[in-house]
Chain A
Amino acid sequence: MLAAIGLNSEDDLVSYLPPDVRFDKRLPIDNGKSEYEIVDYFRRLGTRNGNGHPSFLGAGVYNHFRPVLVDTVVSRGEFLTSYTPYQAEISQGTLTSIFEFQTMVCQLTGMEVANASMYDGSSAVPEAAMMAVRITGRDKVLIARGVHPEYREVLRTCTQHQGMPVTELAYAKNGRVDLDDLRHKLREDVAAVIVQTPNFFGVLEQVNELSHIIAAKGALLVVVFTEAVALGLIEPPREADIVVGELQSFAISPSYGGPYAGIIATREKYIRQIPGRLVGETTDTDGKRAFCLTLATREQHIRREKATSNICTNQALLALMATVFMSIYGKGGLRELAEQNLAKAHYLASKLPLKFDAPFFNEFVVRTNGTPPDRINTRLLDQGIIGGLALGQFYPELSDCMLLCATEMSRRQDMDAVAHAFETQ
């Protein structure tokens, strides 16, 4: 091949690089490893991590069973090794599955339109805020302290140079948004009020009531969720203007924090303000139903500096995992799954002193009554159990509180062990 292009040696391929930029040394990276060595290396690293420990951590990442078919489908090379479906004629598999994804996200959230997915739940929050700013022409954003603390931090990072002041809303004694604080801070210049339900404390917000207060001031209501399984059972935020969230619960492994699949959904009238990719239905030249990427003029590769967002990729493969998950569980299964989560969490909670008294789904805050949360977690770890999240790192005023989560994967004897660890003072 070298001869075919008139070169003598491989070095000739880079001979035009200016000599003062050429790298003539050897990269200090070990020689190539065999497949076996690579598998063994990661297997050993895996055993240095928690490995098969029962866990009561939630806080935005949940331990749910992954049906086997999910891996079967996403391991197919036609899904795994294809690119973004710009060439519709040979991408109908991906396009059709995204159309189904968009539909299921709408059904789940009570919204009218949804995009093809976002990087994750956290990065979807600033996208929703910026969308609200574009729609309302206002610039201020209020976000409840009950929204995941890391999501709030991402919002601050991403909006700091957008001329969008962000103010936080206190939570009330019951763990929900403090309505007095909301009424006080909700002025005519607020573009969006962002709340999470179930919130970071596991508590359900009163979306309906919030929506009346917020709409009366002309602001948009943005509802965030991190535990998608809850939507199998709880009333979806139909009164929201924008819903963003995280579908990690739908068959996506925790994977030390990513990759996950975020969603953004909204009302039909705001469709041209939604960021990221969208798949639409149309026909081919023979009149057959077909799908294609649509409304691309919102996006960076066409509108460049005037785009709705700089977002370029979506999380197609993770969205596919969630789609397969939703298909397998379906209408009845998602509800039964949610009911099991509810039952397990309430079983565990019934044995512990709760901090908040509003209804909760599968997470709740527990008072440790003077014992540092870390000590309780250490006790549990001695029994091979990963306990809950000590809240002091995110909420200094809750340094004697722990966030616990139970899912369908939590066994009764492990929950009993957790309750016991709290009793032993």
Chain B
Amino acid sequence: MIKKVAKHIVQNEPLLFEQSSPGKRGYQLPPLDVPAVDVEKVLGEENVREEIEDFPEVSEFEVLRHFTRLSTWNYAIDLGLYPLGSCTMKYNPRVNELVARTEGLAWAHPYQPEALSQGAMEVIAALEQALVEITGMDAVTLQPAAGAHGEFTGILMIRALLETRGAPRKKILVPDSAHGTNPATAMAVGYRVENIKSNARGMLDLEVLERAVNEDVAGLMITNPNTVGVFEENIKKICAILHDKGALVYMDGANMNALVGVTRPGDFGIDVMHLNLHKTFSTPHGGGGPGAGAVAVAKVLTPFLPGPRLARVGDQWKWNYDLPQSIGRVRAFYGNFGVLVRALAYIMAHGGNGLRQATLDALLNANYIRKLLEPYYEIAYKAPSMHECVFSDDWQAAKGVRTGDIAKRLIDYGFHPYTVSFPLIVRGALMIEPTETESKYELDLFVDAMISIAKEVEQNPELVCAAPHSTRTSRVDEVTAARRPVVRWKPQSSARQAAD
């Protein structure tokens, strides 16, 4: 029985271009207080464009309605549990949105004088300090724009350090359970990638690792807890194996929300790691960005951090550009500052104890779901779960129903699907991460939905395979989209015209 949602009228809406007509306008500029210029004369005739062909012409109210109608076609955390494993979809406190719009911060130009940037620099310093404490590392850079960008920054620093020791070495080890960004990052820094098999408990296999580590290995990229939601219990040993051979350990901090206040990577031997501020520290995902990928390093790597770095001179913050060993900039300016403001506000609202409590609540919620679903779905690994639990669709596959089908059926029950078919080491994975911000009421609704679907698989598998049945848009034809890509609108030529 579907409890969370009921049928509801949804507005149709054409593209903005299809609502345009000449002369409609949604803007008004103040009158010029200086003389107008002759555009052709000032720029040269050849440099002046004709009007922008097919650019929209609509009224202000039409713009508002258009995007409001589109918004109703989205699922969002604000509507309910968003159990995407590894993605950490938690409540985005609105006070963070408010403070990020603080006039003096939001409208600060990155090149305005340092004397007029002390407030912004204080935000960066305070967040760096908080993240140093949370990770147990020695220093933090907030420059990278996203998690993958942070990985790239981290591996560049490893390479720079090894070069000072004589040679950059040749390869990076990556467990087979890793996110795809890890191997892609290693390649971008000029390393070969060697995959390391996981053992039967879903953890890194120590024996395989020991055999793989030699003088050619620059480092290991490890996710902890890993992508099956399991803490690498041998993490200290793992770090020691790498360090013994002069290699370094990079930790993908995608799952740091399972560790905050409970354990610290700096204490168990990690050399460099990134934090996805848009996951652990609740800055909004915004439909796919912006993120921010803070990178924390152990002392040995601090000379290589990207510049500029903050420095305290008297009672003022300064930017220090004199960093002879730095890997250089990874992006313009100082990072996704607006995201940093939100993350700092989140940390302030929680405080040290609150951050630890958030971790424990996240673990509790994940284990609650695991316990209640274990009779209905096969748990992939028996090892204890941290902040997420991973099932396989083995039992349902016998009826011809796969993880992707169950996920689509979940939509009919009013939930966003869990992460489908990842990690790759689990056949037909269902990866579920509730986060700490869900109440027992919402968790129970979700569990009821999953159990109900498991029963449907037994009784009426076709119903599940054809899902979703209740959305405005039914299953989309991704094959045609990829065979004949149409990635922009053109007048009339739109081969697949709106049928609505």
Contact = CB atoms under 8 A, between A and B. Distances in A.
A137 interface: no
B289 A318 contact: yes
A82 B284 CA distance: 8
A57 B368 CA distance: 54
Nearest to B36: A343
B77 interface: yes
A382 interface: no
A372 interface: no
Q: Chain A, interface size: which category?
A: 35 or more
B290 A88 contact: no
Contacts of A49: 104-105, 108, 112, 116-120
A273 interface: no
Nearest to B153: A157
Interface string A321-358: 00010111111111111011011101100000000000
B29 A46 contact: no
B231 interface: yes
Nearest to B152: A310
B400 interface: no
Interface stretch (A66-74, A186-194, A210-218): A66-74
A73 B286 CA distance: 12
A21 to B, nearest CB: 5
A380 B474 CA distance: 60
Interface string B325-362: 00111111111111101000101111111111000100
Contacts of A22: 262-263
A216 B470 CA distance: 56
Given A123-B149, A300-B148, A99 B487 contact: yes
B485 A278 contact: yes
B83 to A, nearest CB: 11
Contacts of A332: 25, 51, 57
A151 to B, nearest CB: 6
Contact of B348 (A41, A108, A286, A301): A41
A117 B291 CA distance: 13
Nearest to B468: A89
Contacts of A163: 190
A317 B286 contact: yes
A258 B100 CA distance: 11
Contact of B34 (A258, A347, A386): A347
Residue among A85, A258, A290, A408 with max Cβ neighbours from chain B (10 Å):
A258
Interface in A40-88: 41-53, 55, 57, 59-61, 63, 67, 69, 71-85, 87-88
Interface in B177-196: 179-181, 183-190, 193
B480 interface: yes
B63 interface: yes
Nearest to B417: A87
Interface in B90-105: 92, 95, 97-105
B257 interface: no
Contacts of A85: 74, 287-288
Contact of A81 (B72, B76, B87): B76
Nearest to B41: A359
A336 to B, nearest CB: 6
9 contacts: A48-B119, A50-B113, A77-B78, A79-B74, A89-B468, A121-B332, A234-B47, A311-B148, A359-B42
Given A256-B333, A314-B288, 19 more contacts: A10-B360, A17-B262, A26-B352, A29-B350, A31-B354, A45-B102, A46-B104, A51-B104, A74-B286, A93-B72, A99-B15, A107-B52, A123-B145, A150-B332, A151-B332, A290-B477, A305-B183, A310-B152, A330-B57
Closest 10 CB pairs of A and B: A257-B333, A46-B104, A317-B286, A77-B78, A161-B190, A27-B352, A259-B290, A45-B119, A316-B288, A122-B332
